[in-house]
Amino acid sequence: MQKATAEKSDPIAAQLAPVGRETVQDRVYSELRRALIGGLFEPSQVLTIRGLADALMTSTMPVREALGRLITEKALEALPNRSVRVPPITLERMDDLLRARILIEGEAIALAATRMTPHLISTIESMLSEWDEMRALKHKKDVDREVTLNQAFHFEIYRACGSAVLIPMIESLWLQSGPCIRVAIYAFSEAGEVDTAHYHRTIVKAMAAQNAREAREALVADISRPFVFLRNKLEADSKKGIPA
């Protein structure tokens, strides 16, 4: 493993930093988080501390702390062998996750709808056009960018709900459904174009009108899509697989 000795401190740079410098474990945690939400890890893939430490150019210490944190929010799973893996996809778990997301994200967007400001509305409207830009040069399926844009759009709205309790729960739910979503988006691409931007436009319209009920319904339609799609795909696969 590459040495990562603590370098001598630079007192000048130290005093320039505001108050809270970023720790290595925070960086590692963020990286793993991003990778999980983006679905960069396979479901059922096992992760090793030393392997991740090598990949992230650090020692094992920040990695084990980050893994522990991800395990408590169910983004990863601790096997009885003490090894850790990204949770496998099952139909029951997908239904469970979707139900929880409808419940909590639905509540968050309904709250947010009643608190919209003109500035916020123009912000999320401008995010719609970003979506169109990407479609313009869609010769390459940029799944990463698609995932990032989708996440930014949703959380820009959720932040407006003003609940310091609900938002971390939603982040945890995205973390848990990340691997499924990536699989679903790939399946989308194979099955032909599906207009995510259309669903987002419906959401923005409801938000601009401060109509909580319509916003919730539009959101439910948006987040249900990949789940029902993936569910159909998995059921079709098992029908093909089991009789064989």
Partner DNA sequence: TCAATGCAAGTGTGATCACAAATCAAATAA
Partner DNA sequence: TTATTTGATTTGTGATCACACTTGCATTGA
Q: Give me the residues that bind its own copies (CB under 8 A), please.
A: 19-20, 23, 25, 64-65, 68-69, 71-74, 80-82, 93, 96-97, 99-100, 103-104, 107, 163-166, 168-169, 172-173, 176
Tokens 């939603």 label which residue? 170
User: Residue 15: how many CB atoms within 10 A of its CB?
Assistant: 7
Cα dihedral 184/189/192/193 (nearest 10): 90
| Alpha-carbon span 180 to 174, nearest angstrom | 10
Distance of CA 112 to the CA centre of its chain: 19
State which residue, 81 or 117, has the beta carbon closest to DNA. 81
Contacted by 169, from its own copies, DNA, none: CB < 5 to 8 Å by type = its own copies
Residue 49 interacts, among DNA, its own copies, none and using kind-specific CB cut-offs from 5 to 8 Å, with DNA
Least Å distance, CB 93 to its own copies, is 7
How far apart are alpha carbons 170 and 172 in whole angstroms? 5
Beta strands in 34-189 (DSSP E): 46-47, 77-78, 84-85
Q: Which does 137 bind (CB under 5 to 8 A by kind): DNA, its own copies, none?
A: none
Q: What's the start-to-end Cα distance of the chain, in Å?
A: 46
CB of 161 to its own copies, least distance (A): 10
C-beta closer to its own copies: residue 66 or 185: 66
Residues in contact with DNA by the rule CB under 7 A: 1, 3-6, 8-9, 11, 14, 19, 21, 23-26, 47-51, 58-62, 64-65, 78, 81-84
